[in-house]
Amino acid sequence: MSALTPSIDLALGTVQFGLAYGVVGSGQQVADGEARRILERAAALGIRVLDTAAAYGDIEQRLARLAGAQNFNVVSKIPPLPKDADAASAATFVRESLARSQARLKMLLQSVLFHSADDLLGPLGDVLWREAAAFTDRAGLRLGVSCYGPQQLQTLHQRFGVTLAQLPGNALDQRLNEFTFPGVELHLRSAFLQGLLLAPAAQGGQRLPAAAAHLQRWQQRCEEHGLAPLTAALGAVKALPGVRYCVVGVESVAQLEQIAAAWGQATPLAWADLATADAEVIDPRVWRKAA
């Protein structure tokens, strides 16, 4: 483990429990029975943090029941603000969203993030943060933000003193190397770029043509070093600075077992030459998928 990431652990994402998610995968929502088995195995493996959101289908409503007696710390998210909101309705929206998450997740809920960093960067940002901070302070919850890049987090960190944040990062998206966030607990998502880094390069390039050349170089690098893409992808995460948790999503217990085993084997891989800032490769919001 690198000196820059002295303590980085796996966290389990639950978006696949509520939605069919990812450009590479089964295309199916995980059934309750398998989700329950995944959570049981995650607990046995020592995974303690779960990532969820009100916007992930209905999983926030079902997660406490699926988790049963397992002792997890859940991070959920305040949904994006309705477009027609004014200051008063925005404040109400935040309070009601937080109250719903708390009622659904009960004692499991430990932290809440704004799902849309753009909401905090907009004209109602101060109102939103103030209302959320007042609620979370009373409830003993941590407050943070989910960002699409470290530039957003830098701005919000300076404006609100953010101490908890989620960011994307992987072998192709290494923007985090250009920033430092002292005092911020970073949760890294998109370690596998929605599965593209784990799929054969030809398949990934077919799904996302803009990434075809990058995925081919990635595959070649893994082959040159005799590494499975899963192990290499996790090694790339371990080389990114300041990360406390790596959030991974799975569709089966078998996938979780594979990731946990690869995590134990992975060593930091600083393959800086594979990085790209091309949004059409690293930002799912602007992906142009093949027809």
Task: Give the pLDDT score at 215.
Answer: 97
pLDDT tens per residue, range 145-166: 999 999 999 999 999 999 999 9
- pLDDT tens digit string along 122-132? 999 999 999 99
- Report CA torsion sign: 276, 214, 250, 81: positive
Assigned token pair, 63: 């997660």
Domains delineated in the chain: 9-286 (3.20.20.100)
Chain centroid to Cα 179, Å, comes to 18
Checking if the pLDDT of 265 tops 60, the result is: yes
CB 52 within 8 A of CB 63: yes
Give which of 153, 169, 64 is closest to 113, Cα–Cα: 153
Would you say 256 and 38 are in contact if contact means Cβ atoms under 8 Å apart?
Answer: yes
What lies within 8 Å, CB to CB, of 173 at 6+ separation is 190, 193, 275, 276, 282
* pLDDT tens digits, one per residue of 81-103: 999 999 999 999 999 999 999 99
Q: Residue 14 has which token pair?
A: 């639950």
pLDDT (average), residues 105-121: 97
Reply yes or no on whether the pLDDT at 220 is more than 90: yes
The tens digit of pLDDT for each residue in 16-64 reads: 999 876 555 557 899 999 999 999 999 999 999 999 999 999 999 999 9
Please say whether the beta carbons of 201 and 216 come within 8 A: yes
- Is the pTM here over 0.85, yes or no? yes
